Amino acid sequence: MGVGNNTSALVQGIALHRESGSLVGVRRPIVDGIAVGDIEFVAAFATSKEKIGRDLTEAIFLPPNNFPRLNCDLPRAGVPVTEGLVDATAVDRVAAALGGAEVLLYSAPSGRPEVARAYAEAARTAGVAFINTTADPISRDPQVMSGFEAAGLPLLGDDLASQFGTSVVHNALLRLLQERGLTLVSSYQVKACPAGAVAADDGA
Ligand SMILES: NC(=O)c1ccc[n+]([C@@H]2O[C@H](COP(=O)([O-])OP(=O)(O)OC[C@H]3O[C@@H](n4cnc5c(N)ncnc54)[C@H](O)[C@@H]3O)[C@@H](O)[C@H]2O)c1
């Protein structure tokens, strides 16, 4: 869910891998017998009216997405983007739309834990694993954890570190400060948003 830049990179990266075998940026090409090329998209959720109804492979190029277009064939996914949820009232609708899925990748902007929790609830209801790419505290929330544990479903996150992005640089700097004997009281990351505003993520 969330047809933004992460999703664009993932959809295009898998297509590139299928075409050329490229594993650039992939640290573990096979996890428990499942390889990069085995990933199929079966559903996509967005809130932007421009993306809803479009095929996933078209919607990933609509603004404000700005992840570059990779040089590879991108066959239509045959997956129309559907309306996501913005609060807990639509959990059942999203759960029903997850039929056939095994994993829900939560990839909305960080900072709305109630939305993340609602998607996690939809995944649990549908019997689907949940991966939280955002910094919102969901996969470490004891209530969410016990729900997934009781259902025997994988729950992963929180946050996703890009190859060389703010998270890995931030963590490397924190380790350096500790190595140099400084006492770390708190930390946060600041990154520029497309509109020129500034967003802060909680640090590790
Ligand atoms: N891109 C990275 O390298 C990276 C690295 C680490 C963590 N993350 C985290 O991953 C998340 C996604 O990153 P991104 O770069 O793809 O962001 P993005 O802003 O490009 O994409 C997020 C998408 O989610 C959509 N969205 C918002 N609310 C929604 C809802 N309720 N239902 C469905 N869709 C909704 C937005 O319209 C947007 O298209 C962020 O929380 C970011 O902090 C990203």
Give residue-wise pLDDT tens across range 33-66: 999 999 999 999 999 999 999 999 999 999 999 9
Q: How far is the CA of 113 from the centre of ligand 1 (A)?
A: 13
Nearest CA to ligand 1 atom 38: 4
CB atoms within 10 A of CB 53: 13
pLDDT tens digits, 145-187: 999 999 999 999 888 877 777 878 888 999 999 999 999 888 8
Among the residues of 45-158, which ranges form H helices? Answer: 56-59, 91-97, 113-126, 142-151
Pocket of ligand 1 (CB under 6 A): 1-6, 45-48, 65, 84-86, 107-110, 115, 133-135, 159-162, 165, 167
**Exposed (0-12), middle (13-18) or buried (19+): which is 42, by Cβ within 10 Å?**
middle
> Ligand 1 centre and the CA of 180: distance in Å?
35
State pLDDT tens for residues 110-134: 999 999 999 999 999 999 999 999 9
Can you list the domains of the chain with their CATH numbers?
5-156 (3.40.50.720), 166-202 (no CATH)
- Give residue 134's Cα distance to chain centre: 7
Task: Quote the mean pLDDT of the chain.
Answer: 91
64 phi and psi angles, rounded to 5 deg:
-85, 10
Atom of ligand 1 nearest to the CA of 51: 39
Q: Which atom of ligand 1 is nearest to the CA of 115?
A: 31
CA of 84 from ligand 1 middle (Å) equals: 13
- Protein residue whose Cα sits closest to atom 12 of ligand 1: 107
For ligand 1, atom 4, name the residue with the nearest CA. Answer: 162
The ligand 1 atom nearest the CA atom of 111: 41
> Beta 81-83 vs 44-46: how paired, if at all?
parallel
- Tell how far the Cα of 182 is from the centroid of ligand 1, in angstroms: 33
**Residue 155 structure tokens:** 């729950």
pLDDT at 165: 79
Phi-psi region of 161 (alpha: psi -120 to 50; beta: other; left: phi over 0): beta
Which residue, chain included where needed, has tokens 């050329």? 20
- The whole-number pLDDT of residue 161 equals 74
pLDDT surpasses 90 at 192: no
Cα three-residue angle 9-7-14, rounded to 5 degrees = 50
